[in-house]
Chain A
């Protein structure tokens, strides 16, 4: 694993929403590989590379809490934007009528260590090489730089992050459990048909190993 990098991340709350329970959100017990990829991409990303998550370590016990909020129901409609713009009428969303209360079962006080490596894609420029990309990611993570503040599943749950240096030990929280089928990632290769991929996740003494895992779709 020549280009492997370890990133530690943490936050007071996290919600890695299960796709089957999206209305009243329920989080997975553990960070999903797709959330981990998004978190690393918030620090550094380039079209010339593709991140692959190797392992996610649990560093603090799995705990839940419940939050209910008033949430807006609908999205911005293209038809109302264009009609509002043409007639000069005001467009807005009336929250009293367009709101619903939704509960979220979220994780509390989470801390993970993400083991990630990347592959070069054909969009890389001629001057790019893995060493350069790795150095950029490490430098940003070490200095706390980021493209935007990474988050743990939802933007209201911002994540702190730091680089775990190569020789630094990682001590997972020794939890062993079968996590069942979890979202691996979304397959974006066909923009019109984005396909979710799942895998059977197991937490072995706090380590969720994603190397050679079988991905179902």
Chain B
């Protein structure tokens, strides 16, 4: 298996939405998520992780080592994969007594086969309770919530359709009304972290995996078009690479170097061109390099 990564990374993703709903709130009838106090839009971490998983699944379909554990849809045809060179465990209950390393073997098996477990971690019952933090595998990649740069103004759009679902309704009316919510425009910022220590000690997240992660983030909305989403695109992926495992600077100080500003503060933003994004890279702390991946 490939070598695990040796560097800590902190990264910022800027993505935007045009006339779409980036992440509906189940508590508010699928209205886009809004922070009620500030009016800023929200996109949860799990929403973005879902997109990364979907991209990897589509890009690496069937490749060994790049399977995705948490799937959205069952594949229609369950293709029989060739038998895995597995660890020779026949009966879990039996093996626990004989083989004290069984837990670690199962964990390694899951980590080496599943990209999402290697990246984000998973909660497994395979482990003897308590011996390994209640079976939790922490992955090296950690994502926070994305927040919009400016307050968003969700709009309700009422639509009609001429196809009626039930015959009973069809006798009484010729159209049905529907509703969708859109954000006319919003630019969101998400922050993320990659811990080299967790990669080395637990999941074996490698350089190739990291390259795939960046690719997945850049393309996460490209395969996610739908009627609800509108136009979404990742605009910036800014990566701070530390030249050590522990890191060379506080992540918040690095994130403060990214300035996202409206060109004209009095105008309502309606496109990415209404913003300027600058990164202070002149006097980066020693041992930190910054790369704009797009």
Contacts and interface: CB of A to CB of B under 8 A. Distances in A.
A75 B123 contact: yes
Contact of B250 (A63, A88, A144, A157): A144
Contacts of B211: none
Interface string B27-42: 1000001011100001
B251 A148 contact: no
Interface stretch (B141-149, B173-181, B224-232): B141-149
A95 B130 contact: no
Contacts of A70: 26, 46
Interface residues on B, range: 35 or more
A156 B27 CA distance: 19
A212 interface: no
Given A157-B144, A191-B130, A191-B131, A77 B125 contact: yes
A93 B250 contact: no
Interface stretch (B151-159, B164-172, B189-197): B189-197
Interface of A: 12-13, 63, 65-72, 75-79, 81-82, 85-96, 101, 103, 108, 140, 143-149, 151, 155-158, 160-162, 188, 191-192, 194
B161 interface: no
Given A82-B92, A88-B81, A148-B193, A192 B130 contact: yes
B74 interface: yes
The secondary structure that dominates the A interface is mixed
A63 B37 CA distance: 11
24 contacts: A12-B147, A63-B37, A76-B122, A76-B123, A78-B92, A79-B92, A81-B106, A81-B109, A82-B91, A82-B92, A82-B106, A86-B90, A89-B81, A90-B75, A90-B78, A90-B81, A92-B74, A93-B69, A143-B247, A144-B248, A145-B244, A146-B247, A148-B193, A149-B251
